[in-house]
Amino acid sequence: MRMMVLASGSKGNATIIAAGSTRILVDAGMSCRELMKRMALVGEYPESLNAILITHEHLDHVAGLSVLARRLKIPVFFTEGTHRAWVRMITPRTTMSYAKWLDNLQREKEARATDHLPAHTVATAVMESEPLVVDDPLEPECAEPEMDAEPAAPRVKDNPSFLPVVEYFRAGHGFCIGEIDVSPFTIPHDAADPCGFVFHARSESIKMAIATDLGYVPPNVKMALRGVDVLLLESNHDLEMLKDGPYPWSVKQRVLSRVGHLSNTACAEFLMRDYDGGAHTIVLGHLSAQNNLPELARLAAEQAIGERMTLLGNRVVLAGQDEPLEPICL
């Protein structure tokens, strides 16, 4: 089983979890081109991805989502709340009743089912009305295929949030993608329905977890993170740096709140008091560029783990924003 953190932080998040022949991309928070570039750097082919899983709808987790999903024509897994929020975000002027939303979903489903159009026609039609999804228009490897002469169905054309396949999951209800069992859990964060995940490779009895973008570590998260072999955990900010830093007061309040981000101190508290000490590797992620220093995050975590850090376990590594982390293979 492998975890490949392609990027982690407020400028973009994306991680690949791989086991056997299954590849899951968790979040697509960078341009399609950048995501593909980073996949190549860790030796993964975009075409080998089976699915994209979204933690929540903030832009640093979804910036390249629609372009990548349409290009690869793979399913995107959301909670319904996150999907709705994402659709609202990329079609900001639309106010939609719940009935209309369900109706739209049904029509999209029908459009896929009766998809007499070649898939790329649908994708191209959607691209025409691409609104907020910021992707470099010049990126050749992510360009949509040539438009067919045949006109696309208008209902698809009108819908900028169209994805090839949408699947829903619910926090607390496990599901599987290929050879990987996925257990989503709720995290406290200021998004519609944010989730962390535990991934379990059935054949290898190895567990890897992702828990970033959380204001604090509630009991359900502590429970979920028991017995994991690799843990990507948020260590967002140093409290002093945040307090003295350049953010406006309102943003500081947001970050510090119970639905904001995990500080180095809170991360260390979890590692000291609640963490079972059994992981091979702990990856500190979503570090703030403004309000943290890698050395501070590492020091806090290493002090918290203390003597449990050995050659065989509890290795602490830091995921960054600018380049992929060395793949973690177990």
Q: Is 135 near Zn ion (CB under 5 A)?
A: no
Among 27, 135, 213, 234, binds Zn ion (CB under 5 A): 213
Please give the structure tokens belonging to residue 66. Answer: 């629609």
**If we measure between CA atoms, which residue out of 43, 55, 48, 49 comes closest to residue 12?**
55
3-state secondary structure of 226: coil
Count Cβ atoms below 10 Å from residue 132 Cβ, excluding itself.
Answer: 12
Provide the residue type at 58 as one letter: H
Note whether 74 and 49 are within 8 A (CB): yes
Cβ at position 56, least distance to Zn ion in Å: 6
Where does this chain touch Zn ion (CB under 5 A) — which range of 100-108, 168-176, 196-204, 206-214?
A: 206-214
Question: Measured from the CB atom, is 153 or 266 closer to Zn ion?
Answer: 266
Give the C-alpha separation, 165 to 250, whole Å. 38
Question: Measured from the CB atom, is 10 or 314 closer to Zn ion?
Answer: 10
The contact mask relative to Zn ion for 45-84 (x = CB under 5 A, - = no) is -------------x-x------------------------
Strand stretches in 129-278, DSSP E: 165-168, 175-177, 180-186, 195-201, 206-211, 230-234
Cβ at position 57, least distance to Zn ion in Å: 8
Cβ at position 302, least distance to Zn ion in Å: 24
Question: Measured from the CB atom, is 152 or 318 closer to Zn ion?
Answer: 318
Give the C-alpha separation, 82 to 164, whole Å. 17
The contact mask relative to Zn ion for 138-157 (x = CB under 5 A, - = no) is --------------------
Question: Measured from the CB atom, is 34 or 60 closer to Zn ion?
Answer: 60
Cβ at position 281, least distance to Zn ion in Å: 21
**What are the Cα distances from residue 101, in Å, to 51, 57, 155, 162, 230?**
24, 17, 14, 13, 38
The contact mask relative to Zn ion for 227-266 (x = CB under 5 A, - = no) is ----------------------------------------
Question: Measured from the CB atom, is 200 or 252 closer to Zn ion?
Answer: 252
Please give the structure tokens belonging to residue 76. Answer: 């995107």
Number of residues this chain uses to bind Zn ion (CB under 5 A): 3
Cβ at position 59, least distance to Zn ion in Å: 9
Cβ at position 330, least distance to Zn ion in Å: 25
DSSP string, 93-117: T----HHHHHHHHHHHHHHHHT--S
Where does this chain touch Zn ion (CB under 5 A) — which range of 69-77, 135-143, 213-221, 247-255?
A: 213-221
Cβ at position 14, least distance to Zn ion in Å: 11
Note whether 322 and 10 are within 8 A (CB): no
Note whether 227 and 205 are within 8 A (CB): no
Report the residue number whose CB is nearest to Zn ion.
58
Question: Measured from the CB atom, is 89 or 272 closer to Zn ion?
Answer: 89
Count Cβ atoms below 10 Å from residue 232 Cβ, excluding itself.
Answer: 29
Binding site for Zn ion (CB under 5 A): 58, 60, 213
